């Protein structure tokens, strides 16, 4: 679990430097989603900070999901569960 969390945090940090179509790189900061690593990996309830950061990164979800380095995490059932718990619509990419 600790190794998976470390990998997820590292992968999310890489996304911060990438640009998205329609969204500038400075707007997309996957590193800010590190606070959601627990809920995404384990299915635990998300914190308020996690939900807030997810809302701020909504426009970047499809870019994050298409990246092979962390698309598995973003497209996981627990990620969908986290979005639902935060009352955020699951995007269609």
Provide the pLDDT for residue 10: 44
The answer to whether the pTM exceeds 0.75 is no
Phi then psi for residue 23, to 5 deg, are: -130, 130
Torsion angle of alpha carbons 66, 46, 9, 65, nearest 10°? 0
The CATH number covering residue 28 comes to: 1.10.110.10
Quote the CA–CA distance of 4 and 82 in Å, as a whole number.
17
Per residue in 59-78, pLDDT tens?
A: 999 999 999 987 898 899 99
| Domain-embedded: residue 43 | yes
Counting the structural domains of the chain, the total is 1
Provide the pLDDT for residue 58: 92
25 Cβ partners below 8 Å, 6+ apart?
A: 16, 17, 18, 19
Please give the span between the terminal C-alpha atoms of the chain, in angstroms, as a whole number. 28
């Amino acid at each position: 679990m600790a190794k998976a969390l470390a990998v997820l945090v590292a992968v999310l940090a890489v996304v911060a430097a990438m640009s998205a179509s329609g969204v500038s790189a400075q707007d997309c900061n996957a590193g800010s989603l590190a606070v959601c690593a627990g809920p995404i990996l384990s299915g635990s309830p998300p914190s308020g900070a996690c939900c807030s950061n997810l809302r701020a990164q909504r426009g970047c979800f499809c870019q994050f999901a298409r990246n092979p380095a962390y698309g598995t995490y973003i497209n996981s059932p627990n990620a969908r569960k986290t979005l639902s718990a935060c009352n955020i619509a699951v995007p269609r990419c």
